[in-house]
Structure 1
Amino acid sequence: MRVSMRSALSSLGVVFTAYLAVGGMIWTVTPDHPLLMVGAIGLYLVTVWLCIFWNPVTAPLPVWLVVLSLVTAVIVPNVTWFAAGTDARLQAYATWGLGGISALMAILVVRRRVWAAWFGVAIIVVTGSFWIGIVNALSLGAVGAVVWVGIAQLVTGLMARAARDTAELTELQRSSSEWLASQSGRRRERRVTVQRAIALAGPVLTRVIETGGVLDDEERAQARLTEGRLRDELRGRRLLDDDVRVQLEAVRRRGTEVTMLDEGGLDGVDEDQLTVIRGELAKALSDARSERVFIRTSQHESIAVTVVGRSRSEDDPDGEDVVDLWHEIRWPAVREPEAVEGAAEAQDRVGVED
């Protein structure tokens, strides 16, 4: 549709400018210099059609073509009046150049050369005043030149504004669609999380209700494991797969307290990278023998996940915990720019309080 519209406008411009040029060929009296008259018409048609069809249509005209248009605005009216002769300068075939150059300047406006167009209007006003007087120049086409160029600038400005508004509306629609899609994804994610939480905690809660909160040691241990699984699902679901879940439960059954925290460091990471990260995490957990293990994602440019284990010192059981496990999982491949944009230069990978 856009291409056909441009073709129609271009065709209209060709027909109109050709009509103006034909006016210069209808001689009621033979000009003093007919060949010069024909040459001026030929120069005009070549210039104006170059301006119409020069590609790309949406780009400004090149400087050389703007210069050619202004040169044509100087040559065509002067040559036409000179060729027509002294007695015929007010004839229609002698004054056609005023309308023809006005159309050329309007085309310059459409092709985003506004100041050159107004300079061309000034040229034909001055030229017409020199050959036929200011009053005749204004009445025979100079005023029309001002009106045509002014209207062309107004319409072009309105169209450009409409195009900007359309682009802004399109961007708003795209942003709205993305927001709706993200909200839909989050709602689905919340439903999945709730369903998993019900599946995990349902049996334990049912047992608690049945016994009035009086659980034996095995049931209490199972409740603690369930609580840990729920925390993992809520705080670090992107770190979890079947192998990681198995290792987390194994670590907890050995009496280790596990804290997992995903603070958005894995946003924008593809599934292949997550698979590698999860595999290394499962391997690190299988070797963990610490009393407390902290798993934390990172926004560091080279570290994806940090696993820290802390235990009481054998030499000073009442003192502060010591770090007996430190494992950094590096990025298996270069992260996407969106995933690291805005990330901190470095993140405290140890900052886990008791």
Structure 2
Amino acid sequence: MTSGSGTRTQLDLPQMTGLGAHILIWTYFVTISVLGLLSLDDVHSPLPVYISIALFAAVWTLLTQDTQPRVGLGASIFTIAASVIATVISSDNAIVGGFSQWYVGAGALSMFYLSLRRRELLAWAGFAAIGVVVILWGLSTEDRLLEAVLLVARQAPFVLVGSLFSVGMRRTRKRLDGIHDVEIARAAAEAAALARTAERSRRLAGLDAAVGTQLQRIADGSELTDDDRAELVIAEARLRDSLRARQLDLPEIVSAVQRARRRGITVVLLDDRYPLALPNGALSSITEAAVHTLNNASTGAVTIRLLPAGRPVLATVVTDDKEYSRIEIPAP
């Protein structure tokens, strides 16, 4: 149970940080506290009972406030210390077995909780310390050693189940994470393949639009005129532009370039910025300057270049006509 509300992408270990887990934990605390209070007639003094209840109340409060997947080291040590202290002060206080020995179960459940929160070694160390205290108490009496051994043995499965469950869940999560990684890699490979196919289709469509008619005439064996050869030269330049100036491969610019080349103007398009995209709003300024210059050029050459990123100038439009002119589009 977790306190987060986001989408889970992994199999989470039980963290017992949600409202349902808190209700369950505190319900158990209230239950063992009532059992401890009901067994006051079976103890020498009620004071150790009150102190033990207060210790476990502090333990539950601290653990429920710690919402990390792995409980903190400080909280773990405090849980162990409080459980051992409660066992020490309560063992000699119990006159008979039964509910008066509630503190052992409370300590075992605390260790069970630690094992679920990825502190298996500390949980077993804490339970071993509780068990040693109980066994020493049994040795200090004349006929209660067996009772002490059975008391520890009955609680050990709690910690064992918690540890096995925690380890099993982590292994399962690792396997699921491995499957998840494989699926991601497969999806990435499929996306790359689709992107390559889309790019190939786009280029084939551009090729067909540029020289499809001329290529079909060549395939049919038709004789090409001088105008056809001139169009093929223009189409070849158009394909070259699409490779070395991708971000300038726009319908408005392409049309203006084609018209200028048919008028005998040499046009060079360069994109030294690729693959970095142009800033938002900059493309319209570049397009306006390029189209205006191309439409007004009558002779000579026009060079339109996107400069590398990081420079104060975003693009240049250079005209080598009757007079040399240079237009600079500053970076926003």
TM over 0.5: yes
For 1:160 and 1:282, how far apart are their aligned partners in 2? Answer: 62
Residue 205 of structure 2 corresponds to which residue in structure 1? Answer: 195
Secondary structure of 1:301's partner?
coil
For 1:50 and 1:195, how far apart are their aligned partners in 2? Answer: 68
* One of 84, 95, 109 as aligned partner of 1:74: 84
Does 2:262 correspond to 1:253?
yes
Residue 97 of structure 1 corresponds to which residue in structure 2? Answer: 103
How many residues matched? 313
Residue 131 of structure 2 corresponds to which residue in structure 1? Answer: 125
Question: Cα RMSD between the aligned structures?
Answer: 4.2
Superposed displacement of residue 331, structure 1: 3.8
Summarize deviations over 1:196-224 as a string: whole Å, max 9, x none: 332332333344456733413x3322222
Is the contact between residue 56 and residue 82 of structure 2 (CA under 8 Å) also seen in structure 1? no
For 1:148 and 1:199, how far apart are their aligned partners in 2? Answer: 75
* One of 31, 35, 47 as aligned partner of 2:43: 31
Is the contact between residue 315 and residue 329 of structure 2 (CA under 8 Å) also seen in structure 1? yes
Is the contact between residue 292 and residue 310 of structure 1 (CA under 8 Å) also seen in structure 2? yes
For 1:111 and 1:284, how far apart are their aligned partners in 2? Answer: 70
Is the contact between residue 297 and residue 305 of structure 1 (CA under 8 Å) also seen in structure 2? yes
For 1:307 and 1:246, how far apart are their aligned partners in 2? Answer: 17
Is the contact between residue 235 and residue 260 of structure 1 (CA under 8 Å) also seen in structure 2? yes
Q: Which runs of 5+ in 1 are unaligned?
A: 312-323, 333-354
Q: 1:209 to 1:74 in 2, by over 3 A?
A: closer
For 1:287 and 1:146, how far apart are their aligned partners in 2? Answer: 91
- Equivalent residues in 2 for 1:7-26, closer than 5 Å: 7-16=19-28, 20-21=32-33, 23-25=35-37
Residue 42 of structure 1 corresponds to which residue in structure 2? Answer: 53
Is the contact between residue 273 and residue 309 of structure 2 (CA under 8 Å) also seen in structure 1? no
- Equivalent residues in 2 for 1:294-313, closer than 5 Å: 297=306, 299-302=308-311, 304-305=314-315
Secondary structure of 2:211's partner?
helix
Summarize deviations over 1:28-51 as a string: whole Å, max 9, x none: 963221x22530452254135325
Superposed displacement of residue 76, structure 1: 1.3
Is the contact between residue 84 and residue 107 of structure 2 (CA under 8 Å) also seen in structure 1? no
Residue 272 of structure 1 corresponds to which residue in structure 2? Answer: 281
Identical residues among aligned pairs (%): 23
Amino acid across the alignment from 1:265: Y
Does 2:251 correspond to 1:242?
yes
Residue 233 of structure 2 corresponds to which residue in structure 1? Answer: 224
Superposed displacement of residue 240, structure 1: 2.2
Amino acid across the alignment from 1:203: T
Amino acid across the alignment from 1:246: S
Summarize deviations over 1:268-306 as a string: whole Å, max 9, x none: 446634333433444565677886666565543236556
Q: 1:32 to 1:164 in 2, by over 3 A?
A: same
Is the contact between residue 43 and residue 93 of structure 2 (CA under 8 Å) also seen in structure 1? yes
* One of 53, 57, 73 as aligned partner of 2:64: 53
Amino acid across the alignment from 1:131: W
Q: 1:199 to 1:40 in 2, by over 3 A?
A: same
Amino acid across the alignment from 1:54: Q
For 1:12 and 1:137, how far apart are their aligned partners in 2? Answer: 29
For 1:327 and 1:172, how far apart are their aligned partners in 2? Answer: 51
For 1:309 and 1:259, how far apart are their aligned partners in 2? Answer: 11
Summarize deviations over 1:244-289 as a string: whole Å, max 9, x none: 1233224423434444455771444466343334334445656778
Q: 1:266 to 1:328 in 2, by over 3 A?
A: farther
Residue 153 of structure 1 corresponds to which residue in structure 2? Answer: 163
Secondary structure of 2:232's partner?
helix
Q: Which runs of 5+ in 2 are unaligned?
A: 6-13
Superposed displacement of residue 56, structure 1: 2.7
Superposed displacement of residue 101, structure 1: 0.6
Is the contact between residue 296 and residue 305 of structure 1 (CA under 8 Å) also seen in structure 2? yes
Summarize deviations over 1:115-149 as a string: whole Å, max 9, x none: 54344224313322332239548623434555533
For 2:193 and 2:270, how far apart are their aligned partners in 1? Answer: 22
Is the contact between residue 14 and residue 49 of structure 1 (CA under 8 Å) also seen in structure 2? yes
Q: 1:214 to 1:66 in 2, by over 3 A?
A: closer
Residue range with higher mean Cα deviation, 177-186 or 233-242: 177-186
